[in-house]
Structure 1
Amino acid sequence: MASEEEMIKETFYISHGTPRMTINKSVPARSFLETWKNKVYSKKPKSILVISAHWETQVPVVNAITHSDLIYDFYGFPAPMYQIKYPAPGAPDLASRVQELLTGSGFECVLDKKRGLDHGSWVPLMFMYPEANIPVCQLSVQSHLDGEHHYKLGKALAPLKEEGVLIIGSGSSVHPSNNTPTCNDGVAPWAAEFDNWVEDALTTGRYEDVNNYKAKAPHWKLAHPWPEHFYPLHVAMGASSENSKAELIHRSWEHGTLGYACYKFTSS
């Protein structure tokens, strides 16, 4: 158990967007992530659990490794992007604790002792915590299941906050298919309408609506034709407690259709 000073009341959902932000300083979300410790969250957590959109499995899997080898899970990008390092220590003890909490809540959970960090983790973390001195592990998403499943995953993981663990869901608030036309004049109306709906639902505490977004949200099929970038939000939301307060802490866009909205959930 962490000391009172080490206990954490916040969970976060961040939109990591394109890995090109590692070399492109013009991506607005990069500047936001670079101000993380000064403007968003100054406390240094004991360890970090990232729920990454880029790890999809049939059942929850958590990586239990001692070192964080990087996975360059993108193709056709400039060569320097494949040379980037983020040598954060792994968090095998945290991984075992995640497995304990999830199995104790009725979930199956598997330990993976080989997999490193994919870009859903290391790209944002290299700007948020550039010193790479905080132990990190990842938890997968189950794209074939629903928002309620991921919300319940988050609820099972909530005790980690009392142990000094920072829980971060990493996806993209709006993540259309590659075939969706971009918008050269501001933000595509359908994308803005979906993103605004999510903000309103979260900030007014309508978490059940977010869990059931396929019945409630406008244009969800365009915004998330595949749900893997949205479900990390549900985990962060579930881990925050039902009476938590949600706050939009960043919003920007790329090509008028890729959304970078980020949220902080603060438990009472």
Structure 2
Amino acid sequence: MALLGGIYAPNTPTLIGDLGIRHEATEQALKDLGQRIQGLSPIDAVVVISPHFVTGTGFGLVNSSPLRQIFDFAGFPSSFYQVHYTPPGAADVVQALEQLSRQAQIPIAITDQWGLDHGAWAPLYHLFPAANIPVVPISICPELGPVAHEALGQQIHQLAKKFHLLVLATGSLIHRLDLWNQDMSSYPDDARQYLRVAKEAFGLGQWEILWNAPEVWREQAAPEGGELPLRVLAGAIPSYCAEILAEEEEFSAVSLTTVFFEPTGDKDACDERGFRTKSISEDF
């Protein structure tokens, strides 16, 4: 069995329908990546960490099949609510992950009171449009802090010895909804610096570069979920080669960065196998 890779992908509702802006590069990158991964190996489950699934005191694991689609947004055109995505769950993966996490003294509970919020199903809709790949939604728990989220990711890493798993963390590295519809040509400089250092961390395969970014940069970027989805991904995939697949912006308020993380113990293998980020200097 194996950890097939990790994905960081945007979850904006504009991936679902038309609000006068479309993100064709992001949508195509997700579709191509989904096909590529399915061509490499069967997938037992996609473990999804969405910043819209938030719990207190402990993590939540959703165990239901098919998964309930949650339209956790309001005021959008009717076409947004006509998109259906209800993949199967993966009870065996959920139960095994819950057992591993409890053994590691990570507070966690199985629930059927949630499903797939748009933070999960918006990118999945493009990655695996047939909705036939089992999905395991996991919450973030801000009360537990970043270390616990990395520890949970480490249990996913261990679980991949038993299952073929793909990890999907969603969100935006810059998530300044307060700037939406403001008369600005781009993000604040400090927010853009945070985006730059994130791409540097991905390119060098070093999560710590991102974690050590100046606090003012992080505050100005306001990453969705406060980096917690990425912390789970980091625990699951501590060593990787990263490939930035698409980069777009939305209304000078939200960054859309799609990244594939290939697990590897040999950084030099990135060049040989084609999993690479483009040079950081290309955009800055």
Please report the TM-score for the alignment, with normalisation by the length of structure 1: 0.86
Contact preservation (8 Å) 1:148, 1:212: no
* Alpha-carbon separation, structure 2, partners of 1:155 and 1:92: 20
**Cα distance between partner residues in 1 of 2:180 and 2:16:** 24
What are structure 1's unaligned runs of at least 5 residues? none
Tell me, in whole angstroms, the C-alpha distance in 1 between the residues paired with 2:91 and 2:183: 43
Partner of 1:32: 29
Confirm or deny that 1:138 pairs with 2:137.
yes
Q: In terms of mean alpha carbon deviation, does 197-206 or 33-42 score higher?
A: 33-42
Specify the alignment match of 1:165 in structure 2. 165
Which residues of structure 2 form unaligned runs of 5+? 265-284
Written as runs of structure 1 = structure 2, the 5 A alignment for 1:92-107 is 92-107=91-106
How far apart in 2 are the matches of 1:170 and 1:93?
Answer: 23
User: Which of 18, 21, 38 is 2:15 aligned to?
Assistant: 21
Structure 2 letter corresponding to 1:10: G
Aligned match of 2:83: 84
What are the within-5 Å matches in structure 2 for residues 212-231 of structure 1?
212-213=212-213, 216=214, 218-224=216-222, 228=225, 230-231=227-228
Partner of 1:65: 64
Residue in 2 aligned with 1:49? 47
Q: Is the 1:252–1:260 contact (alpha carbons within 8 Å) kept by the matching residues of 2? A: yes
User: Using a 3 Å threshold, how does the CA distance of structure 1 residues 168 and 261 change in structure 2: closer, same or farther?
Assistant: same
**Is the deviation greater in 25-34 or in 112-121?**
25-34
| Residues in 2 aligned to 1:42 and 1:232: alpha-carbon distance in whole angstroms | 26
Contact 2:177 2:254 in 1 (8 A): no
Greater shift in the superposed pair: 255-264 or 46-55? 255-264
Identity of aligned residues (%): 24
SS in 2 for 1:253: strand
Alignment RMSD: 2.3
The amino acid of 1:13's aligned partner reads Y
Once the two structures are TM-superposed, the CA of residue 262 in structure 1 deviates from its matched residue by 2.3
1:239 corresponds to which residue? 236
8 Å contact kept, 1:188–1:256: no
DSSP 3-state at the match of 2:72: coil
Residue 246 and residue 147 in structure 1: after superposition, are their counterparts in 2 closer, same or farther (change >3 A)?
farther
Tell me what 1:205 maps to: 205
1:213-247 CA-to-partner distances (Å, cap 9, x unmatched) read 4xx3552112117x515311111121013x32333
> CA–CA distance in 2 between the matches of 1:39 and 1:251?
19
Output one character per residue of 1:113-137: Cα deviation in whole Å (capped at 9) or x when no partner.
2321111111111111001111112
Q: What residue in structure 2 maps to residue 191 of structure 1?
A: 191
Partner of 1:8: 3
User: Is the Cα–Cα contact under 8 Å of residues 142 and 228 in structure 1 kept in the other structure?
Assistant: no
Cα-to-partner distance string for 1:104-154 (whole Å, 9 max, x where unaligned): 222011000232111111111111100111111200001234333322221
2:237 partner amino acid = S
Structure with more of its chain in helix, by fraction: 2
1:54-81 Cα offsets, whole Å, 9 max, x none, are: 0111211100102111110011111121
Number of matched pairs: 258
Report the residue type matching 2:236 in the other structure: A
